[in-house]
Amino acid sequence: MQLPLKDITVIELGHSVAAPIAGMILAELGATVVKVENPGGGDDARNWGPPFMHGAASTFQSINRNKHSIAADMKDPATLETLRRFIVEKADIVVQNMRPGLVERYGLDAATLRARKPSLIYCNMTAFGSAGPMKDAPGYDPLLQAFGGLMSVTGHPGQEPVRTGPSIIDQGAGMWAVIGILTALLRRKDGGDGCVVDTSLFETALSWMCMHVARYLASGQVPGPGGSENGGMAPYKAYEASDGWVVIAAANDNLFRRLAGALGHPEWPQDPQMDTNANRVRNRQRVNAAVAEVIITKPRQYWLDTLAAVSVPCSALQTLDEVLSHPQTEAVGIVQESADRKFKLVGLPLQFDGERPAFRKNPPALAEDNDMLLQHNEKRHS
């Protein structure tokens, strides 16, 4: 397929998850992404194991495919100036999530580089944002899940705080970075200069909390953990069957009528505590107890078949091995294998005219592409 960013070069001054996710998305879309790493060990995520896959932690490998890696000693003035020239002469985009103050110390900040190349698009990914008393504070995904309120609404009441399993703050920030970068590319294509794009883990956390924020501002009630429920709908949660868990999403009155009939209780929709979604939300404990009392009597597959027959949205709660072996996962083809069959990794959740961007290049070994920088330097002096 014709990859839309095939003529774009990205420099990733990134580590851990957020900036590497942004770099990988851009690489999947065809950009040449050059990951700049510390020669003393590279991206910290290379060592976040076990488990390890072919020389690096599985976490690193999962978010760094289709990239190049160069190792640059930022404390060496000659190497640093070579890197600056490489960016100014070759790059369209810089993505960075280095520790606050480092890019300024090394002259790799937006102001310095864009003074030499106004067309450069420069994306800062910080922990807490570009202003305020915490703008220079470092941060990782679980810290921002805590600070941004996600942990306060995740898990079950009365239990210790729970982090959302996937790194949704880091990954979400990576997605916002790409949205901003693509918007800046469109603006530049229309005759404008480049620009500075800013996003942060904190702002990403608040964006995930938008519905909880609205409910709080509307009601004045501070939300707490709700397990698998949604605060504005009922019944809408996981229920235990005799051999596993089933998630049921009866998100409107019509679906509730179908659910009640399938569970053998067609009278529920006439009950004044259950007749509307608003009343079911107000009386969710009674509603949930009534549904749970029926669901526990039969196995998971029975309820999946029974509810599907009346078009009530439902799903088994699957473990990862079940997900990966399911025929639907095979059908969508998002788990892709490398050409040398060393890796199976999740690809981009996008298709263009029915085709997903390919797994073109294995995640890079540290410094495996240093010749890109060296050859560029040699050409300048030849």
Residue 223 located in a structural domain: no
Cα gap 373→69, rounded to integer Å: 10
Last residue within a domain, chosen from 294, 318, 342: 318
pLDDT number for residue 191 = 85
Which residue of the set 92, 109, 141, 170 is catalytic? 170
Domain count, the chain: 2
pLDDT number for residue 375 = 75
pLDDT number for residue 381 = 56
Q: Which domain holds residue 103?
A: 9-208+334-381
Q: Under the phi-then-psi rule, with left for phi > 0, alpha for psi from -120 to 50, and beta for the rest, what region is 374?
A: alpha
**With DSSP H G I counted as helix, E B as strand and the rest as coil, what are the percentages for the chain, rounded to 5?**
40, 15, 45
Q: Are 13 and 98 in contact (CB under 8 A)?
A: yes
What CATH number is given to the structural domain containing 13? 3.40.50.10540
Cα gap 126→128, rounded to integer Å: 6
pLDDT number for residue 376 = 65
pLDDT number for residue 379 = 61
In a shared domain, residues 301 and 254: yes
Residue 111 located in a structural domain: yes
pLDDT number for residue 299 = 98
Nearest CA among 180, 194, 199 for reference residue 26 = 180
Q: Partners of 124 in the beta sheet?
A: 96, 198
In a shared domain, residues 282 and 373: no
Catalytic (active site) residue 170: yes
Q: Are strands 56-57 and 68-71 parallel, antiparallel or unpaired?
A: unpaired
In a shared domain, residues 178 and 295: no
What CATH number is given to the structural domain containing 250? 3.30.1540.10
Residue 134 located in a structural domain: yes
Please give the average pLDDT of every successive group of 10 residues along the chain, which has 382 residues: 95 97 98 97 97 97 98 95 96 97 97 98 97 95 98 96 97 98 96 94 98 96 95 95 98 97 98 98 97 98 98 98 98 98 97 96 97 72 54
In a shared domain, residues 17 and 159: yes
Q: Is the pTM value of this prediction over 0.75? A: yes
pLDDT number for residue 173 = 98
In a shared domain, residues 245 and 310: yes
Question: Mind giving me the DSSP string for 200-238?
Answer: EHHHHHHHHTHHHHHHHHHH-PPP---TT--TT-SSEEE
pLDDT number for residue 380 = 61
pLDDT number for residue 231 = 84
Q: Are strands 344-346 and 335-337 parallel, antiparallel or unpaired?
A: antiparallel
In a shared domain, residues 71 and 165: yes
In a shared domain, residues 163 and 246: no
In a shared domain, residues 70 and 94: yes
